[in-house]
Amino acid sequence: MTAELATGAASTLDSKRVFYNRFLLVVAGLGGLLYGVDVGIIAGALPYLEATSGLNAGQLSIVVAAVLLGSVLSTLFAGLLADWMGRKWLMVVSGIMFVLSIPMIALSHGYGPLVSGRLLQGVSAGLIGVVVPLYLAECLVASKRGQGTGIFQWLLTAGIAIAALIGFLFSLRLDHVVQTGSAAAVFAFKDAAWRGIFWVSLPPGLLFVIGSFMLSESPRWLLRRGKEEASYAALLRSRSNEQADLELREMQEVLASEKAKASAGAKVKESLLRRKYVIPFVLACVILTVQQTTGINSIIAYNTNILLQSGLSDLAAHIGYVLFTFVNFFATIGGVMLVDRKGRKFLLELGTAGIIVSMICAGALSVRTEKLRVDAKSEIQAMVSADQKLSLLYNQQLASRLDSSVGANPTSLVVIYSYGDFRAASQAVRSDDPAAKTIEIDRSSVVPDNKIVAFFSNPLGDLDAAKTAPLKIENALITPVPRSENGWLLAITMFVFVAFYAVGPGVVVWLALSELMPTRIRSNGMSIALVMNQAVSTTIAAIFLPTVGKYGYSIMFFGFAACTVIYFITAVWFLPETKGKTLEEIEAIFEGVKA
């Protein structure tokens, strides 16, 4: 009887451990989901925000880039914060930040609150992107670490797909409003739509916060804080007694060894500048930098706008974006299944080659239409009022007056303008959009309020002169809206692009980089490389809309292809294959490379 009770108790304990391990993976997956929502939600909301907010292209670029900027800032301090407050509590704080950012954005009625909410959302994303993988590595048993990382990555792409699906559902409703309602009703729906898209993302954030509260702290963090009993208890929640005893003993030995070296005056960490670490560190920085110059974040963020201006209707553009995100999701699963079979190097070579081809095709499709642009800057300049402002409702009648060749064919208009040394672009508007918002241009839309903001806008600009300079219309670009066939062809190139990205760089880069970096410098080296990655991503997001407004999407697509050539060359000639090798064997490869 006693043996039966002991067996039953052991079985119950094992069931609790299995449940806890699954629960831990679910919470970690929710972290990936939030990270994906942070990246992807703006794409579905952007067309509605653009149509109703009155923000110019430069301001909209900052709204998009604010998440990336916040992520860069928080990544700099995420490691220090995780060491100070613990992994669990940093997860809780990052989740609370995400939850608070939603009402800040959804209830905003101005540029400042909107950017502030997006910045907070970015700070949350940066912390989640660092602390959740760190927590998984320190809490999961070795046999579950790959599964944990995979779930985090899969649900990251699922977050992007869910954000797209939410945008699509709003687009379905918009199509009905356009057919049955007035222009005022359409405008009111668009204003409610972008706010609703953000509100729908609130429940996963709340679940992540609640789940994080219920997790144990990292046993390794607890042990380093002298809390041995709490560390052992945390291990027992996910491991058997034998596993917990063995792992605690190993942790204690490592900690004792570090303390012994420190007391003897030995260096615990080796410098990044040591000869044998320079090559993998530089290689990591190059890979993480060119990772963003593939254009992945900008294409995700602006995908709906790209398809709208390529000839698709609002509904079709949202369908295209939903398909785009699901291609990303399923291709990611395929990449995870192939990475240990085909190797990291092979998948990066395949992925970057596919990106180059797809971006060249996208650029070729875009340039066909963009070369037909007509510049009506003289006519638009004549519409500028005496107080150096411009109010312009672009419809089919005005389009025909500005360019007699358009006839009844729909066109889009983008106005590039400046006050002195400060330049901006209006949002693109279509002549066949019944709810198109009036283009409003005034000095406040481009001239900064103070010299600090002016420095970051244009370090060489003369702010005092811009405050009295006249409004100059530099370009007023009228572009024919292509047929829907052109839009679907461009959508297909986007699908091909994201499939190759997901199979190659999307799946491989973080795994390959963690393997490349020697153990003793991994945290420092990865932090520096990640900041470079996010800084490049922020820069691209900030310049995307103004560049597209002046030169068209084709120049960005060709630029992304050119930058990916560097990625391809790095993967083919400089990246060693790390499949099946221990970290010590990989480190030995670089020790044998002569600088």
pLDDT tens per residue, the chain (595 residues)? 554 544 554 556 567 777 887 788 788 778 877 777 766 676 667 777 877 777 766 677 677 777 777 877 787 777 778 878 888 899 999 999 999 999 998 888 877 888 888 889 889 888 887 777 777 767 766 555 545 666 666 777 777 677 667 767 777 777 677 777 677 777 887 788 788 878 877 888 898 899 888 888 888 788 878 888 888 888 888 777 888 787 778 777 767 765 675 565 544 444 445 556 677 778 877 887 888 888 887 887 777 767 877 777 767 777 887 788 788 888 887 877 777 777 778 888 899 999 999 999 998 888 877 777 788 888 889 898 888 888 888 888 888 888 777 667 788 787 888 888 887 777 677 787 776 678 888 887 778 766 655 665 666 778 888 888 999 888 888 878 777 778 888 889 999 999 999 888 887 776 666 567 664 555 556 667 777 777 777 677 667 766 776 677 888 899 999 999 998 998 888 887 776 664 446 666 676 644 3
Q: Centre a 10 Å sphere on the Cβ of residue 593 and count the other Cβ atoms it contains.
A: 12
Are the CB atoms for 223 and 233 separated by under 8 Å? Answer: no
Domain limits, the chain = 13-215, 220-263, 374-485
In tens, the pLDDT along 220-277 reads: 788 878 888 888 888 888 777 888 787 778 777 767 765 675 565 544 444 445 556 6
In tens, the pLDDT along 389-444 reads: 888 888 888 888 887 776 677 887 878 888 888 877 776 777 877 766 788 888 87
Are the CB atoms for 576 and 586 separated by under 8 Å? Answer: yes
Are the CB atoms for 549 and 414 separated by under 8 Å? Answer: yes
H helical segments located in 416-518: 451-457, 463-466, 484-501, 507-516
In b/e form, how buried is each residue of 431-454, taking b as 16+ CB within 10 angstroms?
Answer: bebebbbebebbbebbbbeeeeeb
H helical segments located in 386-436: 396-402
Residues forming beta bridges with residue 419, ordered by sequence position = 422, 471
Q: What are the phi and psi torsion angles at 438 (to 5°)?
A: -60, 135
Are the CB atoms for 479 and 372 separated by under 8 Å? Answer: yes
Are the CB atoms for 156 and 165 separated by under 8 Å? Answer: no
Which CATH topology does 13-215 take? Answer: Growth Hormone; Chain: A; (1.20.1250)
Which tokens in the block code for residue 317? Answer: 């553009």
d(CA 331, CA 413): 36
Burial bucket for residue 2 (CB in 10 Å: 0-12, 13-18, 19+)? exposed
Residues forming beta bridges with residue 392, ordered by sequence position = 439
Are the CB atoms for 162 and 205 separated by under 8 Å? Answer: no
Residue 231 falls in which region: left (phi positive, over 0), alpha (psi -120 to 50) or beta: alpha
d(CA 515, CA 180): 57
3-class DSSP assignment, residue 391:
strand
